[in-house]
Structure 1
Amino acid sequence: MSICDSISVEESSGITFLQVDNAFATSRISLFGAHVLSFVPKSDNVDRLWLSPHAFLNGERPIRGGIPICWPWFADNHGREKGELPAHGFLRTQTWQIQSSEDTEAGTRIVLTPNFSRGEGFEYDCQVSYEILVGEQLSVTLKTENTGIVPFTFNAALHSYFAVESIGKTEITGIEGEYKDKLEDWAIKPTPSPYVFSGETDRIHQHAAPDVTIDVENTALTRVTSMGHDSIVVWNPWQGAASIADMDAFGYRHMLCIETSVTNGVTIEPDHAHSITQIVTPL
């Protein structure tokens, strides 16, 4: 298959990387996990995504940072004992294939597919594709199509790590209602206002916010637009980062996860499909 002009291909430590460079932005994508690692708009040359300096980039384990794909379950919500199946599913540890790529007026469009979408813990017939558009915005869409004869239910997330200069000076807007707090045995709490950070955060917001804005030092940096989701997950490990093997002990100061998620389950009938989309817009 031919690759469009804005993409160059690199091989390193057994992983194939796509380097996108067009009139609007640059981006680096790992075919291991269909993992977008960076998005740098040429308008300000500021990477909107955070990648751990200790991330494994050799295929040994999922990549810490960028935009990991969670599918067909979120976290350990797979119906079995914790650890019996891989957290966040089995797409993020596969090598994906390029189905198509093209240079368009809006930017570079890439469509990727996994080697398999049926595995232990999810034994249904379906087809998964991932469309990436690198332009003035970064748009990623995960599409799941039911190709079988029975309906199935799944969860998913675009587990994006956003770069911030200082988490202590970061505020997000756009989320309302209540959230489930993982750190307090899933207690239901109201969304804080202002939404700032002073400690470990692990929340599933039940409000499917269409737009969340990241402000750093009262300056709008990034807007995160979501579609096809039922919740927004917000996560920062704070000092718990010291116990994460592929994360610097102080890395939490410069990242914030805002995840376009399906955590309450979506059911797809035969011959139907469902997509979740996240659009990252520099402000």
Structure 2
Amino acid sequence: MDCSLEDHGIQTVVHSKSGSMCQIHEFGATILCYHPNPDKYSEVLFVSRDAVLNGTKAIRGGIPLVFPIFGPPADKENDDMPQHGFARRNFWKMDKSSLSDTETEAAMDFTLTVAADNDKIDGRGTKGLWAPSATTSPACELRYRIVVKDESLTTTLTMTNTGTIAFPVQALFHTYYEVHGKAALDTSKCSVTGLQGYDMVDKVDPDNSKSPDSTEAITILKETDRVYSPPDGKNEVNVTLQLDRPTHTPIMCTAKGSVDGTVVPVSCVVWNPHEEKAKAMSDFGDDQHHEMICVEPGILGKPILEPGKQAVLEQVIAVSTTS
């Protein structure tokens, strides 16, 4: 993805001291580009060359936001909300008062307000819990803070229940990482570590699910869509990604979550469509499964967010300085 891209609805955050920068599309508040200190590092995120950027569908790549559901609706007969919810399918507002550029970091916030009866929010569905209704539907305010430093990007999604109806929370950073040299299927060059001991549900091959998974390094050998849930006592995600980067520096991803101030477990999804599914997606290049891997931390346990309370999901993507 060319970080010089100019298009309607795209905002840029630049940390003046280090040159680190990211670009955010107002549609979905989707981060399109994260380039840490350009004198030392290369682009971190992947965006499909066929991604649609005109606001007609969720953007394929970068960091789309998943909320308030992960995956398809649990009850398809009663909820026609699209897969992964509505956060990534609507235009967010950039908060000008949040802009900052200091010695240590640059920051920008985006907001999306969902009133209980607002039928202009695309993707709420017409039959389920979130279907617009002044009396029976939830309301919320989403605030997304993006902080760029010399060698890290921090994304924080704060979800506030502003209505009178409690609702279950699922939220996830659907992060697409760029694998350099088209090496995503090379097990010696692309891997994810840090999820050993997690329960693993294999959505492509359920018979391959493991509880707990003893695998040290996750690699891409075929279509991969796995959900890793932490063992008891472990709430934060802390993974290392080898992405065949030019400087051979791995990427570290950490994530944590809370609901009403109480820490909640954060799961992690690993996804690559591989050849057959890549060809079936109109907004994804037929061969681009060689260029990316998704590692997606999120709150997937469906904790209940009561009126007036907040849930928070935070992700930190950092260039490793220890290798």
Q: Normalised by the size of structure 1, how large is the TM-score? A: 0.89
Residues 1:173 and 2:171 are matched in the alignment: no
Query: 1:44, 1:127 → 2: CA distance?
Result: 38
Structure 2 residue aligned with 1:6 = none
User: 97-106 vs 181-190, which deviates more?
Assistant: 181-190
1:26-105 correspondence to structure 2 within 5 Å: 26-42=21-37, 43-81=39-77, 84-99=80-95, 100-105=98-103
Cα gap change, 1:82/1:216 in structure 2, threshold over 3 Å: closer, same or farther?
farther
Residues 1:192 and 2:219 are matched in the alignment: no
1:26 counterpart letter in structure 2: M
Structure of higher CA gyration radius: 2
1:130 to partner: Cα distance: 0.6
Cα gap change, 1:271/1:52 in structure 2, threshold over 3 Å: closer, same or farther?
same
Cα gap change, 1:67/1:183 in structure 2, threshold over 3 Å: closer, same or farther?
same
Structure 2 residue aligned with 1:234 = 270
Structure 2 residue aligned with 1:243 = 280
User: 261-270 vs 49-58, which deviates more?
Assistant: 261-270
Answer whether contact 1:222 1:281 (CA < 8 A) is retained: yes
Structure 2 residue aligned with 1:224 = 253
Listed one character per residue, the Cα deviations across residues 146-177 of structure 1 (whole Å, up to 9, x for unaligned) are: 22334321211110001112112211111122
Percentage of matched positions with identical amino acids: 29
User: 232-241 vs 177-186, which deviates more?
Assistant: 177-186
1:102 counterpart letter in structure 2: S
Answer whether contact 2:73 2:79 (CA < 8 A) is retained: no
Q: What secondary structure is seen at the aligned counterpart in 2 of 1:44?
A: coil
Residues 1:255 and 2:278 are matched in the alignment: no
Q: How many residues in Structure 1 have an aligned counterpart in Structure 2?
A: 273
Query: 2:204, 2:106 → 1: CA distance?
Result: 40
Gaps of 5+ in 2: 117-123, 131-136, 258-264
Query: 1:282, 1:66 → 2: CA distance?
Result: 17
1:51 to partner: Cα distance: 0.6
Query: 1:48, 1:226 → 2: CA distance?
Result: 17
Query: 1:209, 1:198 → 2: CA distance?
Result: 27
Q: Normalised by the size of structure 2, how large is the TM-score? A: 0.78
Listed one character per residue, the Cα deviations across residues 11-41 of structure 1 (whole Å, up to 9, x for unaligned) are: 73xx311122223302111011101001101
2:202 counterpart letter in structure 1: D
User: 260-269 vs 189-198, which deviates more?
Assistant: 189-198
Query: 2:79, 2:178 → 1: CA distance?
Result: 29
From 226, 229, 234, the counterpart of 1:206: 229
Cα gap change, 1:183/1:46 in structure 2, threshold over 3 Å: closer, same or farther?
same
Query: 1:186, 1:270 → 2: CA distance?
Result: 40
Structure 1 residue aligned with 2:11 = 18
Listed one character per residue, the Cα deviations across residues 229-248 of structure 1 (whole Å, up to 9, x for unaligned) are: 52100100111211111111
Answer whether contact 1:174 1:209 (CA < 8 A) is retained: no
Q: What secondary structure is seen at the aligned counterpart in 1 of 2:46?
A: coil
- List structure 1 segments (4+ residues) > 6 angstroms apart after TM superposition: none
Structure 2 residue aligned with 1:164 = 179
Listed one character per residue, the Cα deviations across residues 165-222 of structure 1 (whole Å, up to 9, x for unaligned) are: 2112211111122211101247631252332221111000012552110114594421
Query: 2:171, 2:90 → 1: CA distance?
Result: 16
Cα gap change, 1:38/1:95 in structure 2, threshold over 3 Å: closer, same or farther?
same
From 131, 136, 159, the counterpart of 1:144: 159
Query: 2:287, 2:307 → 1: CA distance?
Result: 47
Q: What secondary structure is seen at the aligned counterpart in 2 of 1:252?
A: helix
1:256-271 correspondence to structure 2 within 5 Å: 256-271=293-308
Query: 2:78, 2:278 → 1: CA distance?
Result: 21
Answer whether contact 1:108 1:135 (CA < 8 A) is retained: yes
Query: 1:36, 1:194 → 2: CA distance?
Result: 27
1:80 to partner: Cα distance: 2.1
Query: 1:280, 1:83 → 2: CA distance?
Result: 34
User: 257-266 vs 192-201, which deviates more?
Assistant: 192-201
Q: What secondary structure is seen at the aligned counterpart in 2 of 1:278?
A: strand
Query: 1:209, 1:128 → 2: CA distance?
Result: 22
